[in-house]
Structure 1
Amino acid sequence: MPHSTNKELIFAIMVGTAGISLLVLWYQKVRKSRTAMSLPKFFSLNSTFDSTTLQDKTHNGQGTSAVFQKRQLQILEKLNELLKNMEELKEEIRFLKETIPKLEEYIQDELDGKITVHRISPQHRARKRRVTAVQSSATSNSSEEAESEGGYITANTDTEEQSFPVHTALNTHTEELKLDILLQKADHLRMTESGKMESFELLCDHKEKFRDEIEFVWRFARAYGDMFELSANTQDKKHYANIGKTIGEKAITRAPMNGHCHLWYAVLCGYVSQFEGLQNKINYGHRFKEHLDIAIQLLPEEPFLYYLNGRYCYTVSKLSWIEKKMAATLFGKVPSSTVQEALRNFLKAEEIHPGYSLLNYMYLAKCYVDLEENQNAWKFCNLALLLPTVTKEDKEAQTEVKAIIKSLKRVLDFEGDNI
């Protein structure tokens, strides 16, 4: 094995150790500065908190409520930052657990003079990388978006240079297609995961020609969402999400009555929110719901919209009190929904398009489990297993469905119901 691989392994161990040390130092610093604050244990990495006890100085007179709300926001931001650090530490530990047992084998290979060839993942074989020089911002550490020469955007980060996967035409003599043929081909290609990348590249090849055509623009935003899903690298995901969201913003500005523009802008807002702090997560969640509702009004027969709305309702129904309170502080009202409302949306998607998706069946089963309608939950679990697994999400959903079936068997056997 080459010396570079050993160096990478040693570097990974050093990074893991440094990460643990930094986290401990950070925690001690925070703890010292918060002698008047008591926080409960939290056990979810999805920013869900059961309760929070605050002991803060109260001030007589006007402004007490505002100070209290500001303190709440600061506490939640710190907790969210700690959760992110814990998640990163968890990944480092997992990597070390997987790598260290193989260390002896790697060293033996090195001593034997074996040479390993670094493989390129299939996802990156079809595209090249380029280094884009960007200007660092003196006032913000977050990503900023700037319009490029092509009329779309590049992402500026807080580093001087950053490598991003961008499309480079594999064939310099790209076939020129008419708009309607191009759109049909792009729609057809994205029916499979492997075709989604080809669809993205096809649209990239024609972006200069059709950049002002709204039917092209919203599909281009959708294609960036597809690339977000296909990417495994966090920085790549962030890049695709930010560009797609900006293209989506242009789409809804140019065509405010086009439901597809609002649909994919909402989806991309959801993707971008995954890389934001708690306050921006709530902000993007509000924006997601706003444009989703507009899309439903404009495209009342689109099952995907009801599936997304069901997901939103189901998530909101599971929010803790403190998360709802935080949203109320920011937007003046508490987001509310129920499992029953989520169920109605999932059923609507199934009504419009029977057998719409494995994920829709999984959420139908979860809703019925929450409502203790176990026979219906069992029915939709079995329907889910009849559908093919096409995407990574499908495979994950199938695994969860099997777990639900296993738990339902115990419940139904105990109740004496026939299954």
Structure 2
Amino acid sequence: MSSMMSLSDRSTLKHIGIGITLFVGGGLVSYAVIQFWSSNNRVQDPDLSHSIVELKREIINLKGNLSEAVVELRKELDGIRGSINPKKRTTSTRSRSGTTLSTASGRTAGTFQTACSDYDDDFPSDDEFLSPPDHIADDVIEKQPLPGSDEELNIICVKVDLLNEGTDEDREEAMRILQDNELNHKDSWQLLWRLCRSHVGAYDMRDAYDERCLHAMSALEYAKQAISLNDNSAEVHKWYAISLGATTDFVGTKEKIEYGYELKEHIERALEIQPDEPTLHFMLGRWCWGVYMLTWIERKLAATLFATPPTATVDDALKSFLKAEELDSGFYKSNQYYIAKCYYEKSDYSNAKKWLQCAAQLPCKNKDDRDTHRDLQQLLAKL
């Protein structure tokens, strides 16, 4: 696996709240390890919100049943294709009462019917119906992978990984592909963690509170299924941690803090498996930074719920950010920005300015980079 972090991963890390969210004095105080964007259109009635989420879950189940029917139909069509030896036609195989114009390859270019043409002539003959389009090669049809096979799974994974690097529409298409093939590969951890990733992406792109909640919870459910099948995948643990962060705005206070503990465990487990992945070191650095920024009152509140509240220092955060930079220098604008923030917090203004200037030189490839660039310029103005 490449150590480079994808553009979609960077966008996800910007908007997902990974960390501890505490209620203090009736107000919501969010100390996110990875910043969470709240929707302005939240449903205030929890019962109504729950009903909407349940209804959308039923819709997803119905779609799954429809997908199963489509899979069966595809199997029948594959059987029909297998019994046929497709051959390209070199000449037009039928004539009509009207005039038929054929291309050099024998494909019908157009038909001019007379008033005496029979209605049945508008329909293709049996050989035209059974023959594949000319632009589809015989070997392509014959070599299509069997539904549910490992070969098909590999093709699906490659395709959705490429789509995940594209536009929002591409990522939506990736989710549709995964959902269409979920029944054939329901026991595949490779497909399940990618479904988790797709739902996190959908959560990130949605504005409505109930839709974000649905996709966040769905992402976590797929992550749980994936990790039950393979506990030794860095990608599975990484997306489990990210999906945990995505759910922090939809659970109670106690669960938020529990998720903070569990989240760090999965980041560390992923690092055990893949210690040279810079994204994971960045995630750990953000977790440490969020815990370091907790106030004394918030720490006391956490201590009333758990015997050992989380602890981390600015040096812990800095160590993780520097490690990520060592593994892949300049891989993420935000990583250099947080290195500068750590030095600023330590009153090492010379190093803070140096890293801010380095981060400012990195290109802005997406909204995440543009937001980071704006923030670092504001901090740079203080030095």
**Does the C-alpha gap of structure 1 residues 193 and 307 become closer, same or farther in structure 2, counting only changes over 3 Å?**
farther
Pairwise mapping of residues 277-288 of structure 1 onto structure 2 (< 5 A)?
277-288=252-263
Q: CA separation in 2, counterparts of 1:82 and 1:348?
A: 29
Q: CA separation in 2, counterparts of 1:163 and 1:273?
A: 20
Q: CA separation in 2, counterparts of 1:400 and 1:388?
A: 15
**Does the C-alpha gap of structure 1 residues 254 and 288 become closer, same or farther in structure 2, counting only changes over 3 Å?**
same
CA offsets, 1:5-53, max 9 Å, x none?
xxxxxxxxxxxxxxxxxxxxxxxxxxxxxxxxxxxxxxxxx967xxxxx
**Does the C-alpha gap of structure 1 residues 392 and 368 become closer, same or farther in structure 2, counting only changes over 3 Å?**
same
Q: CA separation in 1, counterparts of 2:155 and 2:334?
A: 31
- AA aligned opposite 2:152: K
Q: CA separation in 1, counterparts of 2:152 and 2:184?
A: 10
Where has structure 1 moved over 3 Å in runs of 4 or more? 80-83, 158-170, 172-177
Q: Helix, strand or coil: the match of 1:209?
A: coil
Q: CA separation in 2, counterparts of 1:159 and 1:188?
A: 32
Partner of 2:315: 340
Q: CA separation in 1, counterparts of 2:185 and 2:290?
A: 38
- AA aligned opposite 2:378: A
TM-score (normalised: structure 2): 0.63
Q: CA separation in 2, counterparts of 1:351 and 1:362?
A: 15
| Cα RMSD (Å) | 3.2
**Does the C-alpha gap of structure 1 residues 333 and 82 become closer, same or farther in structure 2, counting only changes over 3 Å?**
closer
Which of residues 242, 246, 249 is equivalent to 1:274? 249
Q: Helix, strand or coil: the match of 1:334?
A: coil
Report the Cα offset of residue 345 of structure 1. 0.4
Say whether the 8 Å CA contact 2:285–2:318 is kept in structure 1.
yes
Report the Cα offset of residue 387 of structure 1. 2.6
Q: Helix, strand or coil: the match of 2:212?
A: helix
**Does the C-alpha gap of structure 1 residues 303 and 80 become closer, same or farther in structure 2, counting only changes over 3 Å?**
same
Which of residues 375, 379, 383 is equivalent to 1:404? 379
Which of residues 17, 21, 26 is equivalent to 1:79? 26
Asked whether 1:188 is paired with 2:81, we answer no
Asked whether 1:326 is paired with 2:293, we answer no
Pairwise mapping of residues 380-399 of structure 1 onto structure 2 (< 5 A)?
380-399=355-374
Partner of 1:58: none
Range with bigger deviation, 386-395 or 317-326: 386-395
Quote the sequence identity (%): 28
**Does the C-alpha gap of structure 1 residues 82 and 297 become closer, same or farther in structure 2, counting only changes over 3 Å?**
closer
Q: Helix, strand or coil: the match of 2:242?
A: helix
Count of aligned pairs between the two proteins:
269
Pairwise mapping of residues 15-414 of structure 1 onto structure 2 (< 5 A)?
76=23, 79-80=26-27, 157-158=50-51, 162=55, 178-194=152-168, 195-408=170-383
Consecutive unaligned residues of structure 2, counting only runs of 5 or more, are: 1-19, 31-38, 75-143
CA offsets, 1:340-397, max 9 Å, x none?
1101101111111111111112211111111122222222222222333334322221
Say whether the 8 Å CA contact 2:291–2:310 is kept in structure 1.
yes
Please say which structure displays the higher CA radius of gyration: 2
Consecutive unaligned residues of structure 1, counting only runs of 5 or more, are: 1-45, 49-75, 84-89, 93-140, 144-155, 409-419
Report the Cα offset of residue 246 of structure 1. 0.8
Q: CA separation in 1, counterparts of 2:319 and 2:263?
A: 19
**Does the C-alpha gap of structure 1 residues 388 and 198 become closer, same or farther in structure 2, counting only changes over 3 Å?**
farther
Q: CA separation in 2, counterparts of 1:181 and 1:160?
A: 32
Q: CA separation in 1, counterparts of 2:270 and 2:175?
A: 23
Q: Helix, strand or coil: the match of 2:311?
A: coil
**Does the C-alpha gap of structure 1 residues 142 and 293 become closer, same or farther in structure 2, counting only changes over 3 Å?**
farther
